[in-house]
Structure 1
C-alpha cells in the first residue's frame, strides 16, 4: 500500500503552466534588467524575487496598469534615479542629450532627503533662466498639479509643451519661506552646450572663457573647438564655467576632462560587487595653460566628475560654492514596447577616492553666489568670475617672480 501511494504521487497529473501575458512579460523584462544591473545587490534590503512574484501575479488588464505595477516595483528600491520612462518620456530624454526640446528649460531632481521636486539648474537662455529660477528652488505645483503627487518624469512632462503655450509654476525659493507663482511661456530650448569668448580684462594675459551648460552628445567636440579657437586667438589661461550645469552623458564628462589632463585617472566607478573600474587619460591635452573652474550648487553629476578630476589631478582650482552632490551613475535600457528604464548601475569616486554623493565637492576658493541677470554672468558684476580671474593672474605673477 505504501509503495502504491508513492507511485501515484510521483506519476500524478500536474496542471499545465498558465501562458504568460504580454503585460506580465514586460514586468518580468523590467525585473530581469534591474536584477542584473542594479547597484545595490540587496535591493534596498528586500527579497527582490518576492517583489517580482507579487507584481507578476496581478491581473494586469492594459499597459497603463502594467506601467503602474512596474513603477510600484521600482519604488520599493527607494531610488528616484531608477525609474520607468514611458515611450514619450524616453524619446524626450533621448532628444535632450542630442537635439532640442520645447518647454521651460529646467533640469530637475527629487531631493534625496525630503523627496521634494527641486531645481538642479535652469538651462542657459531658457524661459526659466530668464525669470530668475535658481538651483535648489523647490517646485510645489505645476499648474494645478501638486508635485507631491507626481513622479520626476511626470513633472517633466507637465512642464514640456508646444511653443507659445503657458505653464504656471509655484516655486518656493531656496532657504526661504517665500512662495511665488510664476507664469512661463514655453519655448524651444537650444541645447548648444558651449559659449566661448576671449577676454582681455587683465593686462597680464588674455583669458579664454568657456561656459559649458550641459554634457550632451556634441559637448566634447564643441569644447575642443573652443579651446583650439581660443588658443589661436592668443589665450594664455582659461576659465571653465560649470555653474548650473546639471550633467548629462558620463562619457562626455570623461572625454572633456581628457582635453585638459596630461595624465592620471579621470574617475573611478564602483559596481555592485565593489569592483573598481576607471577612466584614465589616454592622450596629451589640448592645452596646458592655467585653468580655473567655476562651480556652484547647480553643478551636478557629470559636471562633478569633470570638476573632481581637474581638482584632484591638480590641473585646476575650483572657485565658487559646494557642488550639488550626485555621485550615482545610471544606464538606459530599452524595453520591448518602446519604453525605457533608467537604472542606477554604479557610483563614482573622484581620482582621490572621494565619494561625493549627497556631499558635493568643496571648491578651493569659496565665493558665495550672487543673483545675476543673464547679461551679468562672467562680467565685473560676477564675483565668482572675478575671483577666478584674480586667481589666474596671481599664478602668472608667481611664475614671473620665480
Structure 2
C-alpha cells in the first residue's frame, strides 16, 4: 500500500514538473516576443527585431484593406535581409526566379525557340521573335503570329509567363499550337517538337578588306562554342584582321569569358580573384592558339564584368587595341548559394584583377583609342574608328 502511494506521489510530482516547465517556456517566449531584452538590438534575429515583426503582422491583420500574400511577404523579408548589405549585386531569389536566371546564364534550354508578349490592347499572346533554325521556325511559326491555344488550353487572358511555363513544364515531347496570322483566313495549327535551344550570344560576318566582325552580347555557357564556330568560319574565309564588339555586353559567366579568351590569348594568367581572406584563385590559358592577326576590341560604358575581364586581358597582353569609351567598372565576383528549400542567395565574394594586377572596380578600363558614339549619328563612328586603326 505504501509503495503504491509513493508511486502516485511520484507521478504527481512528475506531471507538476512538466507543467511548470511548459509555463516557464511560455513565459520566456512571451518575454522574447514582447519585451525589449538585451543582446544586439540591430541584428535581424534579435528579440527586438522578432517582436517588431510580430507587431507589424498584427497591424496588417487588423488594418490592411487588401489581400495578403503571406508567401510573398516572406520572400520579400528574405530579400530585404540581403538588400540590407547595401550591395547592388547581392540578392535573394526564390527557386522559381533562380531557375529562370540559370536558364539564361546557361544559354541553352529545353523549349521551342520563340519570344512571346501579351499585347496591351487586347491581352492576346503574340510571337514577337522566332529564333532562326529553332523548332518553332522549322514548324512554320512566324513573328507576328497570335497564339489562340497551347496543347488544347485556351490562351485567352494568359500572360506570357504562364504560356512559357505551360510550354516548358509540359511532359509532352511536342507542343501543339493554334495560331491566327495576318493575311490568313483560317487558324493555323502547328506541332512543334521540344528540343534543346541555344540562345545566340555571338554573331559574326566578314566585312570589306577581309576584316572579320564578331559581336558578343553576353557570356553564357554556350558563348565559347558559338565563338569558336564563327571564329573558325571567318578564318576559313580568309580573315586577315578582326573586330570583336563588346559594347553594351553586361558580362555573364566567368567560365564563359575565360573559355572564349583561351582561344586567342598566349600562355599565362587570364584573370585572378582574391576573397576577403586574401585567398587567390587564378584562371590560366595554355596558349595553344594565340591570335596571329591584328585585333580591335570595341567597348563602352555598357561593357561590364566578364566583358571587362576580356578587355583587360587583351590590353595587358597587348594582342589588340581597345576602341571606344571607358568601361563600366565592375571588378567584383558573385557566387550563388542554394538554401535548403531551393531558393538562392547571391553574394559578392571576391575582387578580380587583370593579368597585370589592375583592379578596375569603380574605375573601368580606359580604351587605347577613345571615341564617343554620338546619339544622333546614323553611322557607327566607333566601328569606323576600329576599322581605321586596323588599316593603319
Smaller-chain TM-score range?
Answer: 0.5 to 0.7
CA contact (8 A) 1:300 1:325 kept: yes
The answer to whether residue 284 in structure 2 is matched with residue 280 in structure 1 is yes
Pick from 333, 339, 348: which aligns with 1:335? 339
Evaluate the alpha carbon distance shift between residue 290 and residue 310 of structure 1 in structure 2; reply closer, same or farther with a 3 A threshold.
Answer: same
Q: Structure 1: where are the runs of 5+ without partners?
A: 1-11, 19-46, 105-124, 127-158, 164-188, 395-402
Specify the alignment match of 1:73 in structure 2: 81
The answer to whether residue 207 in structure 2 is matched with residue 199 in structure 1 is yes
Q: Structure 2: where are the runs of 5+ without partners?
A: 1-16, 26-39, 58-69, 118-127, 130-158, 164-196
Q: What TM-score results when the alignment is normalised by the length of structure 2?
A: 0.61
Q: CA deviation at 1:57?
A: 4.1
Q: Distance in 1 between matches of 2:332 and 2:245?
A: 22
The answer to whether residue 390 in structure 2 is matched with residue 392 in structure 1 is yes
Q: CA deviation at 1:71?
A: 2.1
Specify the alignment match of 1:95 in structure 2: 103
Larger RCO, structures 1/2 (Cα 8 Å, 6+ apart): 1
Specify the alignment match of 1:383 in structure 2: 381
Equivalent residue runs for 1:137-152 within 5 Å: none
Specify the alignment match of 1:174 in structure 2: none
Q: Distance in 2 between matches of 1:347 and 1:252?
A: 18
Evaluate the alpha carbon distance shift between residue 72 and residue 243 of structure 1 in structure 2; reply closer, same or farther with a 3 A threshold.
Answer: same
Q: Distance in 2 between matches of 1:48 and 1:365?
A: 54
Evaluate the alpha carbon distance shift between residue 275 and residue 15 of structure 1 in structure 2; reply closer, same or farther with a 3 A threshold.
Answer: farther
Evaluate the alpha carbon distance shift between residue 297 and residue 255 of structure 1 in structure 2; reply closer, same or farther with a 3 A threshold.
Answer: same
Q: CA deviation at 1:68?
A: 2.9
Q: Distance in 2 between matches of 1:48 and 1:249?
A: 39
The answer to whether residue 237 in structure 2 is matched with residue 256 in structure 1 is no
**Matched residue SS, 1:294:** strand
Pick from 305, 314, 319: which aligns with 1:315? 319
**Matched residue SS, 2:281:** strand
The answer to whether residue 274 in structure 2 is matched with residue 266 in structure 1 is no
Specify the alignment match of 1:247 in structure 2: 251
Evaluate the alpha carbon distance shift between residue 57 and residue 81 of structure 1 in structure 2; reply closer, same or farther with a 3 A threshold.
Answer: same
Structure index of larger Rg = 2
Pick from 205, 208, 212: which aligns with 2:216? 212
Evaluate the alpha carbon distance shift between residue 65 and residue 320 of structure 1 in structure 2; reply closer, same or farther with a 3 A threshold.
Answer: same
String of CA shifts for 1:74-112, please: whole Å, max 9, x gaps.
1221112111112332122112222478579xxxxxxxx
**What is the aligned-residue RMSD (CA, Å)?**
3.5
